[in-house]
Every structure is written in structure tokens, then in C-alpha cells.
Structure 1
Amino acid sequence: MVDLFTPCRALIHLTQMAIVAWIYSNEGAPAVLLLHELSQNDGDWSVLPALPHLSVSFSQSAAWFVFVEEETSIMLTSLLRVLNRYDAQKEWFLGKRLHDDKASIVHHYAFSEDPSSFGYPDPAAGWVLSTPLLHRLAERIQYSPLKSDFTIDLKHEIALYIWDDGRGPELKDVPDFCAGPGAHCATAITASLPTCGDPVKKEDIFVAVKTCEKFHSDRVPVVKATWERDAAFLEYYSDVTDPSIPTIHLGVPNTERGHCGKTFAILKRFLSPAVPEADWLLIVDDDTLISLPRLRSLLRCYDATEAVSLGERYGYGLGQKGYSYTTGGAGMVFSRTAVAKILSSGCSCYHDDAPDDMVLGMCLTMLNVPITHSPLFHQAHPEDYPTAWLSNQRPISFHKHCTTDPVAVFTHWLQDHQAHPEL
């Protein structure tokens, strides 16, 4: 048996980045399963809908189920030594413990009186279910629906479901599940940003910034002071034409909630002769902060001639065969091929103020285009995520300016020092 096991390194080059389930059996070699290949259910990436299948197919032969991500390395002998400390006939939920530093909107302000009291696993370090626990959860998931239709932060929601208001086990913090390499580590995160060759060119990305008149004086200047200079092609789309920025009015009125009409107008403009031809389209809000150099590095791992949708993946109704979508505030990335496929399919908004990210998710699901997740995109600002988790990343984006200094956030978390020595 080898000491180092990197189960999913090749996946980084695919348009479907998946969580890996690593299963240790008492007999024979370990089996590696890619969750997105288990069934035709798109929601298997959220793990809970996949548990019944795992229980039926493997619980008789597997002692432990270990869930890891693409960048996770497993030291097999160390992992087996760790698992042998625990009675596999009992219910165990093991992993590297994270907790909220403060009450977080991402977690609906759960445990607001004492955010650190509830622990959930770092998925990149791996987490483990014993077979008895997995089997019980698989039975429960079939008769006890999830409390929310939305899947927003998988690691926290899985821990909540397992804990079950105190009726189930809490996460057992295991120091051998590591965020970085170490002599004692059974698992380790090998890279914070994948390396797939030279970054794509600046000219390969067209950036669309959604804004409106009331934010021209406060949000747009932040974009201009931070990341706009890293874009070769960028346009601001507003409800008025303002030559001082400049902005473009696409003929779609401003809406207070969803921006589906504006987003579909952007998709059409991207394919038109009105803008320079580029392989990738990035759509962001005017209060999105993003590192375009890091995005260019990430996009090297994908093929723009395929239909690719990339960002922070959320889910809606996944327990009932719903759909996935990239959340808009974190930034939505589409290959030119994906945009053409969406527009040629007849997909459209049911209203201008429909949620654009969710409508696009429904369209892409209908077209069998996978929603590719990257944990480097963030729908909220840094304070809403565990510091221990963010410190092992090179984040690509954050969202929202409220209660924070957006320029300071960009400088600390997203700044490319060579590109912006003056910040």
C-alpha cells in the first residue's frame, strides 16, 4: 500500500469538479468513487441525497466513508492508523473542525449567541462517517426532508443534519486531518490554487459589471480603485447612460431584486459584434471584489470550447431532484460555448426581476451543462467565513461592501502585489 494517495488530481482539468468519496474496506484495496458519477441525480454533489445509494451499494463491505476534494492528499498508512483508534461499529463523524468566528449570514446566523459552539468539517482536509452512522443517515434522508430548499454552505448544512438538534453526534475534531502538510497528517491540502499551465490572456475574459444609477457614486469607484485595471475588456451596465464612467443602458429597467432581464441582455451583447470577442464571460455585481489574475490562472484548467459554468455553486431542491446554480454575487463565469448554448436553447426570463443566477441554473440543468464549483468564489465578505478556512486559500472573489472597507478587503485578500504595488 502506498503512503501518498491523491485520488482526484486529474479532475482539475475537467469541467465537472467533484467531491471524491474514498471508502476503506477491511478487505482488499480502497475504492474511489466520484460523487457526480454515482447516479443521474445532479444533487449528489451535496452528499446527503447520495447517502442511500452509498448505503445500499457499499455499507456491507466498507468500514469507513471518507469524503475529500480534488486538492486533498491522503497518507494511507496514517489514515488507517487514525481510523483504528475508533470503534467502527459505533457512530462517528470525524474531521478537521471549523467554527464561525461570529454569527454568519451564510449560515443564517445559526448559534448567534455562541458561534464557536458548533463545529463543522473542513472539506478540503477530508471528513469521515462510520458505516453505522452513514446507514442511519441514509434511512433518515428518505423520510425526513431537509429543512431548507436551498443548499448554500454544504459543510455547515451536513454537520447540522448529522447533529440533528442534539440527537446525533457532533463532529469529532481530529488533529491528523490537516490544512497543510505535517509529519503527523493523515490528510493534507496540497494547493490553494490549481496549476494548469500559464494563465489565460487578459483578452480572453470579457467582464460585465451590473450596476444602477444610485450606486454610480459609491460602488463603481471601488471597482475602479481596485480590480478594474486588471481587465482588458470591461463594461458597466446600468439603468442610465453615464459617459463619465462610462455606463451602457441595455434598455432593461432597473429592478430591486433579481436582474434576469439585464443578465440575458448581457449574454446577447457578449455574442454580438458590439464587444470584442473573448473566450470567457464574467458577470459580477458592482459590489463584487475579484482577483482577475487568479481567475485567469483558474480558467487555464478549463476548455473554453466546452460549455462551462463556473463559480460558487448553490443548490435548490436538490433532495427533490432540483437544480444547481452559480450564485451571482460571487461572480458567474461562462465559456462562450455555454453562452451560445443558453441563448440558442430558447431559455429566457419569466420576468425581468427574476433571480438571474437561478434562472440560468435551471437553463443549464435542462441543457445538461454541469455547474462547476470552486470554493475560491465567495458570496459574502471575509468576516462571514472561518479565518482558519480562508487562510488556506487564495480567494478569487468576495461580495458586499456593507459593514466592511471594500478597498481594505481587496488589499488584504485579493490584491496581486506585483500588479498593484501602490495599494
Structure 2
Amino acid sequence: MHYYSHSNPDLTSSFGEALLSSLAPDGGLYMPSEIPSFTLDEMAKLGALPFHACAAKLARHFVDDRFSDEDLERICEDAYNFPVPMVTADGYVLDPALNEPRNDFFLELFHGPTLAFKDFAARFMGRSVSHLSGENDTRTILVATSGDTGGAIGYSFLNQPGTRVFILYPEGGVSAIQEQQLTTMGKRSNVRALRVTGSFDDCQALVKAAFADKDLTAQHNLMSANSINVGRVVPQSFYYFWTALQARAAYPQRPLVFSIPSGNLGNLTGGLIAKKMGAPIDRFVVGHNANDPFIDYLRSGEYTPRPSVPTLSNAMDIGRPNNFPRILELFDGDIKALRKAVWGASFTDEQTMRHMRRYYNETGYAMCPHTTIGHLAAQAFREDVDIDFTQITVATAHPAKFHSEVERIIHDDIAMPNALKKLKKKTPYITEMKPELAALSDMLSGKA
């Protein structure tokens, strides 16, 4: 397996080189040169494994020979030491052995240390970087976050030798708990949070500009931990592959549809890679908020990125999604083939709040704003098609990460996990920064 630039297939690298360099030399996004496929017998064996063991087997096909099978088993067992449940609103956990007749599941990806799905990719990435780094290497990791990515990356690299982490997040663009998570890793730790006086698009543009500056990149040995890095996207295919096998084993006669709340399209890209590996996924549904250029593209065939606007589902406030070129590459630019695999819709804050409140009143299940949009999209898709299917909504964050907003909407208290109770007692350390490359350069050089 090698990786190539989506804008120039002649520019290639190994997995390790692609991971550590983040972008190809021409600024293109790295893509795997081939997608592995598996026989039915092989998939049955993979589905019978615990998740971390299945992830290690899948990773073998994407990494290079600097990772042994034993390395991958160790990395995945350490990274994925938390559950990956598919549950119904009344608490039933999907079990292929029971085969209970249910069709509305939530894939809860928020049981990791930062209570968000970003833990899956961040923890694999952090351990892979540590595995590849030499004793005298010092690497500066840049990450722009609209909510959960920064916390997951920060915790994954916290106090790891040979690394410095700078997290750029938009002022007023993350929840209070998300900001607390970003800014309480210690004043003298290797992780520094920078509150940018701008939007998430400004943060993301700064990261890209830093990598476009070859002198700055070389001076600080820069690495991106955003989903421009293929090392963030590949691990997201692992949970789709494994959970699809579990769901198909439980409900072999029904089509399987995953519904994803989407912003930067990295989660969808991981799912599409899993589908191309042979995961028994019939369709993906994507739900967007008002920042929906990808939905426009699915409908019209015209892609027009635009400035982001703030919404209740802040982690999806992205007007120029990073992974759009990767999705085009996976389908060779064939929009008809993409439409067969992906259906999408977008929703307003008012629709999101109304659905969150109604579903909680009917079932007692609380969703974060992002998960709510995913569930709304799944219901809209169900109304649009005349088939029965197993519906799995990807629950991307614990609702307590947005407890003020969620409690205001559902008119009820939600339980606060112990990790967040402890977090609220920590002292934040915040540095403000203008959305300018010169300001970022000063931060990296220790001048500010």
C-alpha cells in the first residue's frame, strides 16, 4: 500500500510519510492507492473479533512495514479500550445472537476519554506517531477545531515526548465544555490552545497556510492532525466496517443504512472507504446544518463552498469541507455513483431543537445537536424511500458536552459524566490570536 496526492497521482509516499507530512508536496490530499477487499469468509472472521482486534487486522492493509502485526495489536488495544455500542432509545444493545426486531439504532461513538467520536482517529494517530518518531525528533502538531477534534488530539498527544500541540479554535464557536476541555491540559504541558478571533474556516485556512509555507513547515517540523491528514480518515473506516458486520449478522434480510451528521466530511469518507472494502452498508445518509455545500452538490452537481455561519451544531459549521476532494476521488468524479451511495439533507436550528425535544419527550433518549441532525436526516430518508431498513444513526458526541443547550431545549436535566464533572474544576489557560499567519508564526516560535 502506498499513498498518492489526489491532485497528482505521481506524487506517492508510504503511510508513515503521509502521516507525518500531512499533505503531499503539491498541497494535495493523500489517498490510499488501493482499497483492500475481503471474502465473505474473511469478513465473517473479522466480525467475530472484538473491535480492537478487527481494527488491527484492517490497519495491516493501510500501514507500511514499520508496523508489525504485534505493533498494530498493541496500538489498537490501547487506543480502543472503551465500548462501541449500537443501542436503541429504550436501552437495547444490538446483539447478533439475539436478533431482536429493532430498526432504529444509535451507534454511540462517545464512550472514549473526550466523549466524542474523534477519539477513534485521534488515539490511533497519536500512538502511530509515537511509534514512528525517533528519540531526538520534535514534531509540532497543528490542529484547527470546531469543537471535538482539538480535545481528542490534545488528550491523545498530552505529555508525549517529542511533540508540541497547538490547537486553533474559533472565539465563540465551541461550547463552554468544549472550550474547558481544550484549555485545561495544563499551563506547562505540551498542548496549547489558541482562541482565534474568527471563524472555524479562518482556523482551518491558517493551518493550510502554515503548511503552504515551506520555511515555516521545515523550521517547526509541522504535522497536521486535522482530517487533511489521511491518518485521521483511515481509522474512521474501522468502526463502520466492524459495526456493519455486527448489524448485518443481526438483521441479514434488511438493507443497512448509516446516517451521519456531517461537516468536514471525514466521517463520511471513512464510511465510504469501509463500504468499498466490502462492509455490508447499502446507503449512507448525511445530515448537515445551514452549512451545506455538499448537500447542494448532491442535488445540483455544482459545488460552491462558502463562508460558514454559526449554528447550534457548531462542530459542523464548515463552509469548505476538507474531505470533499477525497470523496470525489473515491468515485472518480462520478456524481451518479456517489448519489447511489449517499443521500443527504440539511436542517435549520429550529428543526433541530424541535426534533431533539420531541424525541426526548417520546423516548427519554437525549441527543446532542449534531446527533439530532443525523437522526433527522435518517427519518427524512425513511420518508423518501419505500423500503424497510436497519437505521443506524451515528451519535458523535455525548449530549452532556452541550448540556446547557440540550437542557434548555428538552426542559430537563441530563446526567453529567464524571469526566466532565472533574473537567469543570480545572483552571483554563487561554491565549487569544488574530487569524493571521504572522501571529501563528509568533506563537510557534515562542514570541507570544
- Normalized against structure 2, the TM-score is what? 0.27
Give the number of the structure with larger relative contact order, counting CA–CA contacts within 8 Å between residues 6 or more apart: 2
Asked which structure has the greater CA Rg, the reply is 1
Answer 1 or 2: which has greater helix percent: 2
- Normalized against structure 1, the TM-score is what? 0.28
Answer 1 or 2: which has greater strand percent: 1
